[in-house]
A and B are shown apart, each in its own frame.
Chain A
Amino acid sequence: MIKISLDPRTKLFMIFAVSFIVMVNAITPLEWGIRIMVTLIPILLLVTEGKYASAFRFTVFYGASLLLLKYCISESSTGIFSAILVGYCGIVAQFLPAMITAWYVIRTTKIGEFMSAMQKMHVPDGISISLAVVMRFFPTIKEEYSSINDAMKMRGISLGGGKVTKMIEYRMIPLMFSCISIGEELSAAAVTRGLGAPVKRTSPYELKMKAADFIMIGIFAVSVIIFITAKYFR
């Protein structure tokens, strides 16, 4: 399969476009169509990057919640079960497109590329470095959390038994310990590579907008425009 590698700036634009689109509620079939389309594009891109498992998972989740929303839930449904169901389908249908895009961007952008793109857009160093760390850190937090969770399960401290405060404390504190020590290592490594030196940084990544980038930007810009006109200039 051909690999489409997009410019980080295109990816950022995609994130903004998608989060704008998910904020505005889709009502007419056309709007739903666009929304589903902007969800499918990142999924397809994930496939081209060879991330079949996550692409499949996202498709199933999104499809299931859309079907449930369409056929099982109406304005008049009441009761705790439907409240939960509505809640989860609502969150999935509403926010999953943004999450898929964010996931795609995080998984496929190298930090070096990201930094170089940010530098080209003249974003202040403070924001770009911190954002890069946030991006890099989500997977780490997840990983650390699951190992801490395993350890706590072994000790019998889980959601079912025991007190809630204990549960929070015994997960939160070790997580923070490990995050802080990882952070120390990270900053040592970054400083060694010259981050924060008072010179202009160079990057091994040559960023260039290619045809694919312009096509993507075009598609997303058009969908945003359609959404705005459908919403405010009806």
Chain B
Amino acid sequence: MNDKKLKAKDFITIGIFSALIFAVEFACGMLGFIHPYIVAAYVVLIPLVGSIPMMLFYTKIEKFGMLTIMSVLLAIVMFVTGMGWLGGPLIIAAGFVADLLAKKGNYKSFKLIAISHGVFCLWICANYFPVIVTAKDYRKNMLEGGYSAEYCDNLFRAINGKTIGVLLILCFVFGVIGAFLGKAVVKKHFEKAGIV
């Protein structure tokens, strides 16, 4: 059998880590309802906290496709929890590019893994796109949906067509920083225990 092909064990690994990442995302997402600026701060929070499971996941990747499948799963979960379908293709695109990048280093070169994690983290930004693309409708909807005007104003001050560039860059930068942090944590705990 072809060694490059993904096996059942790989799929199960993907599932476990997707669930973990989503748990992190969900925990951070809850914070966002306290203040809209925290919604913008996802780009810092999620890459940093999520980097720990992600780096451990990277140590388990040996074949092409695992990151892509993970991004497909994230897109599905995001859709089901009501984040909309606009972000879906972008999430999958981010996952695919990240996969290609990591493959270039044969899933071993840490430099490429760090960059690839940065790209993968862009999926968080994909969730902002409905806010930007449909800004006017979204605002109207939110007001009619019972959010206060204050919350909306703050949200749109933090996330709009101008700041999205900054958010994307921040997301990438903190993804790379997160990669280093995650690697340190993985080294500290998991290598000692012999799991990696």
Q: Please tell me which one of the listed residues A87, A129, A141, A168 contacts residue B19 in the complex, with CB atoms under 8 A apart.
A: A141
* Residue A47 CB within 8 A of the other chain: no
Q: How far is the CA of A152 from the CA of B33 in the complex (A)?
A: 27
- Smallest beta-carbon distance B159→chain A, Å: 16
Main secondary structure of the interface of A (DSSP, over half): helix
Task: Give B1-37 as 1s and 0s: 1 = Cβ < 8 Å from A's Cβ atoms.
Answer: 1000011110111111011101100000010111100
Q: Say whether, besides A98-B81, A187-B8, A198-B1, A25 and B18 are in contact (CB < 8 Å).
A: no
Contact A187 B9 (CB under 8 A): yes
- A191:B150 contact, CB within 8 angstroms: no
Contact with B along A88-107 (1 / 0, CB 8 A): 11110111001100100000
Residues in B neighbouring A102, C-beta threshold 8 A: 80-81
Say yes or no for B97: interface residue by CB 8 A criterion. no
**A25-B141, A137-B19 are known contacts. Are A176 and B56 too (CB-CB below 8 A)?**
yes
CA A90 to CA B148, docked complex, whole Å: 10
Determine if A95 and B20 form an interchain contact, defined as CB atoms under 8 angstroms apart: no
Contact indicator A183/B12 (Cβ below 8 Å): yes
Is A41 interfacial (CB 8 A cutoff)?
A: no
* Contact count band on A: 35 or more
Residue of B nearest to A91 (CB): B33
A19 interface hit (Cβ, 8 Å): yes
Tier of interface size on chain B: 35 or more
**A16 to B18 CA separation, bound complex (whole angstroms):** 20
Chain B residue nearest to A141 in the complex (CB): B23
Q: How far is the CA of A102 from the CA of B81 in the complex (A)?
A: 8
Contacts of A182 in B (CB 8 A): 16
In whole angstroms, how far apart are the Cα atoms of A175 and B189 in the complex? 12
**Is A27 located at the chain interface by the 8 A CB criterion?**
yes
Which of A25, A87, A141, A187 contacts B144 (CB under 8 A)?
A25
Q: Are B147 and A86 in contact (CB under 8 A)?
A: yes
Which chain B residue shows the least CB distance to A73?
B146
Bound: A27/B146 CA distance, A? 10
- Provide the bound-state CA to CA distance between A77 and B11, in Å: 48
Name which of B71-79, B102-110, B118-126, B170-178 contacts chain A: B71-79
Contacts of A179 in B (CB 8 A): 16, 19-20
Interface string of A43-63 (1 = CB under 8 A from B): 000000000000000000000
Binding site for B on A (CB under 8 A): 15-16, 19, 22-27, 69, 73-78, 82-84, 86-91, 93-95, 98-99, 102, 125-127, 129-134, 136-138, 141, 145, 168-169, 172-173, 175-177, 179-180, 182-183, 186-187, 190-191, 195-196, 198
Binding site for A on B (CB under 8 A): 1, 6-9, 11-16, 18-20, 22-23, 30, 32-35, 49, 52-53, 56, 65, 69-70, 72-73, 76-77, 79-82, 84, 141-151, 185, 189-190, 193, 195
Other contacts beyond A25-B144, A141-B23, A176-B20: 16, CB < 8 A: A16-B80, A19-B82, A23-B82, A24-B141, A25-B141, A77-B150, A87-B151, A98-B82, A126-B11, A129-B12, A136-B15, A137-B16, A176-B53, A180-B16, A190-B12, A196-B11
